Amino acid sequence: MYTLLLVDDEEATLLGLSAIAWDKLNISTILLASSVTEALTQLESNSVHVVITDIRMPGQTGIDLLIEMERRGHVAKGLLLSGYAEFEYAKQAIHAHAVDYLLKPCSDEEVLNAVERAIEAVQEDERIRAEKLNMVTHLGKKPLMVGELLLQKWLTSYHTVDMIQKQIEEYQLPFRSDAPSIWIGIYSEKLNDKMMIESEVLTMFSSISFPMLISDKPDFLYILLVSKESTPEDWIHTVLTKLIPQFKQHITVKLHAAFFLEVSNPFLFWPHVKHELDDLHQTIHASKQFGNKPAAEILVDRAKQYVNNHLDIFPTLQSAADYLHVHSAYLSKVYKEVSGENFTEYTHRLKMEHAVHLLVHTNQRILQIAEQLGYNDSSYFIKVFKKYFNKTPHEFRNR
């Protein structure tokens, strides 16, 4: 089932859109917002799949909303509504990565068709994410290669990988799958002997370090190459011009296999991987310093520290997950289990506590305090503050 967010400053439009037979598309939840600020609040508090927003609204526009959604890491698909057939709007819609651009008035059928296309895009994104997560999950089940992937700076030989595997499991370290990389994919009906294939790969690439990702399907093999060299550009050139062609010819002849290759940001490759390794090392070091403190608590402590250091913006669950190099779903689950509140609740609470400090100990104007805490809309800041303290900031300061 899917969740739809409708954003328009006109109540009649919201009511009209709400009345559409959304159950035809398995949409079970309809959320409403009359401004960009309200829409962002709904997005922070709910798992939204599709957003339909008017372009022209007081203050920020629907295009501003889609751009801000992307900046904050929200994965919902956006559709834009407009009563104006202007080329500039269409161009901005493309820039904001809108799935569709609808002109008012539009029929229920037109809206349903557009949302159906958006849901198909959501399903495709989910399929890709699931595939990546599946590969990462299987990575942890490959004791021969996992040490070479993430802990090569502490690894002296393949004989120590079992120890490294236990260390990874002990500290419950989840890893992102979207790092810049060189992927090799092999498809063949003869890929039923995994050990034989792994042996072939080890032989061909004995001079470099790489992990191997094995999918559930018995006829599909993924390989991710990771450089040990200090000059990744030279390494990548060698891999692409010498080793890959040799390997492709060898594996194609021997296994009658289809072969594909993908290079992602090759010149950013090594700095990114090095950052991942350094962060992993720091996490393990911090875990040792905390003694018997569970890894989940350490992760939550680091998430809180991230929020503390970024009060001047609006840190989101996704931005914190990116900073900590974990999946947002994993961070959300662990954060709730350990702290008893969700990430957004903690962010607002901390901002409100800091707002109180500024109200009591400084002469800053309410607008300045709101901006300092990442609230671009001072009226929204006042609304949140009143929710927590049953007083407006002005009333609180003059109590």
CA 181 – CA 268 distance, rounded (Å)? 9
Q: Are strands 220-225 and 50-54 parallel, antiparallel or unpaired?
A: unpaired
User: pLDDT confidence of 368, banded at 50, 70, 90?
Assistant: very high
Q: Is the pTM of the predicted complex or chain greater than 0.85?
A: no
Question: Each residue of 260-279: pLDDT tens digit?
Answer: 444 444 334 334 444 444 44
Percent of the chain predicted with pLDDT > 70: 54
Q: State which CATH number among 3.30.70.100, 2.60.40.420, 3.40.50.1370, 3.60.150.10 fits the domain covering 142-290.
A: 3.30.70.100
* CATH, range 307-398: 1.10.10.60
Percent of the chain predicted with pLDDT > 90: 13
pLDDT at 189: 45
- The highest-confidence range among 65-74, 277-286, 289-298, 340-349, by mean pLDDT, is 340-349
Does the pLDDT value for residue 5 go beyond 90?
Answer: yes
pLDDT at 206: 55
CA 331 – CA 325 distance, rounded (Å)? 10
CA 387 – CA 200 distance, rounded (Å)? 63
Does the pLDDT value for residue 100 go beyond 90?
Answer: no
Name which residue leads in pLDDT, 144 or 313. 313
Task: Count other C-beta atoms under 10 Å from residue 45's C-beta.
Answer: 12
pLDDT at 242: 59
Place of tokens 């922070």: 44
Mean pLDDT, residues 166-189 taken together: 44
Name which residue leads in pLDDT, 161 or 373. 373
Task: Pick the range with the lowest mean pLDDT from 118-122, 218-222, 320-324.
Answer: 218-222
- Burial class from Cβ neighbours inside 10 Å (0-12, 13-18, 19+) for residue 245 reads exposed
273: which 2 tokens?
């991987």
Task: Pick the range with the lowest mean pLDDT from 8-12, 31-35, 109-113, 250-254.
Answer: 250-254
CB 397 within 8 A of CB 361: no
pLDDT at 312: 80
User: pLDDT confidence of 20, banded at 50, 70, 90?
Assistant: very high
pLDDT at 115: 93
pLDDT at 280: 42
Mean pLDDT, residues 171-189 taken together: 43
Task: Count other C-beta atoms under 10 Å from residue 9's C-beta.
Answer: 16
- Burial class from Cβ neighbours inside 10 Å (0-12, 13-18, 19+) for residue 26 reads exposed
User: What is the distance in angstroms between the CA of the first residue and the CA of the last residue of the chain?
Assistant: 48
pLDDT at 170: 46
* CATH, range 2-134: 3.40.50.2300
pLDDT at 6: 96
CB 41 within 8 A of CB 26: no
CB 209 within 8 A of CB 228: yes
CB 277 within 8 A of CB 150: yes
pLDDT at 177: 37
Task: Indicate the domain borders of the chain.
Answer: 2-134, 142-290, 307-398
pLDDT at 80: 86
User: pLDDT confidence of 89, banded at 50, 70, 90?
Assistant: low
Mean pLDDT, residues 54-80 taken together: 86
Mean pLDDT (the chain) is 69
396 Cβ contact partners less than 8 Å away, ≥ 6 residues apart: 356, 359, 385, 389
Helix (H, G, I), strand (E, B) or coil at 200: helix
Q: Which long-range contacts (CB under 8 A, 24 or more apart) does 287-294 make?
A: 287/171
pLDDT at 269: 39
pLDDT at 205: 56
Mean pLDDT, residues 183-198 taken together: 49
CA 228 – CA 360 distance, rounded (Å)? 54
70: which 2 tokens?
């992307």
CB 100 within 8 A of CB 114: yes
CB 343 within 8 A of CB 331: yes
259 Cβ contact partners less than 8 Å away, ≥ 6 residues apart: 184, 185, 186, 187, 248, 251, 252
Mean pLDDT, residues 131-137 taken together: 47
CB 212 within 8 A of CB 293: no
Name which residue leads in pLDDT, 292 or 110. 110
Name which residue leads in pLDDT, 218 or 13. 13
Q: At what angle do helices 343-361 and 317-324 cross, to 10 degrees?
A: 100
